[in-house]
A and B are shown apart, each in its own frame.
Chain A
Amino acid sequence: DAGITQSPRHKVTETGTPVTLRCHQTENHRYMYWYRQDPGHGLRLIHYSYGVKDTDKGEVSDGYSVSRSKTEDFLLTLESATSSQTSVYFCAISERQGLAEAFFGQGTRLTVV
């Protein structure tokens, strides 16, 4: 498996609280992605990064922010968690766009109560 680790693996939080998920890679890949996986919706891109301090929005970015201050870390923050953000979150890394294979983390199961 590619060196990609997500933390925490599971989290339960209350509505309105901030939450930060961490994705850490040891592959020195340029691209990093955050997806959420929901039944009936598959994987939807939240935000992605194409370099340190270079990020862009995906298709479901509302309510989420990201930061990438180092190549190896990509943080996803829910400023004020809502029940609709209950999901499984996946981080992925890729060496380059297009033809490159994306490697995925094991996922973080987030429950907002």
Chain B
Amino acid sequence: AQRVTQPEKLLSVFKGAPVELKCNYSYSGSPELFWYVQYSRQRLQLLLRHISRESIKGFTADLNKGETSFHLKKPFAQEEDSAMYYCALTYNTDKLIFGTGTRLQVFP
């Protein structure tokens, strides 16, 4: 079955430190992958999608099909990046599947 794995429940860093939130998926085909973010008291919202190859708020994510990974990276974390981050996958159906999420805490 298709699955999204986020091994870290909590990631704590200091402001200015690099951040990498890990995401691995299991799917033999070509999935579409996303990162969603939920800031405190806000709705879950799309951060970026792999097909766009974009950088949003300094975050980037590269799809590595060999390692079946889609890790989210930012070179210098900011306090306002503190949030819950979810990796998500959709494939040749109508389903959008999420990982268990990683809470990022950025300390001043």
Contacts and interface: CB of A to CB of B under 8 A. Distances in A.
Interface of A: 1, 31, 33, 35, 40-45, 48, 50, 56, 58-59, 90, 92, 94, 97-99, 101-107
A86 B59 CA distance: 34
9 contacts: A1-B43, A35-B98, A40-B9, A45-B97, A48-B95, A90-B44, A94-B96, A98-B90, A107-B43
Closest 8 CB pairs of A and B: A42-B100, A43-B98, A104-B44, A42-B101, A101-B46, A97-B94, A50-B94, A104-B43
Interface of B: 6, 9, 32, 36, 43-46, 49, 51, 86, 90, 93-101
A93 to B, nearest CB: 11
Contacts, number: 54
A18 B49 CA distance: 38
B49 A92 contact: no
A25 B95 CA distance: 19
A48 B96 CA distance: 9
Contacts of A1: 43
A50 B94 CA distance: 7
Which among B49, B51, B97, B99 has the greatest number of chain A C-beta atoms within 10 A? Answer: B97
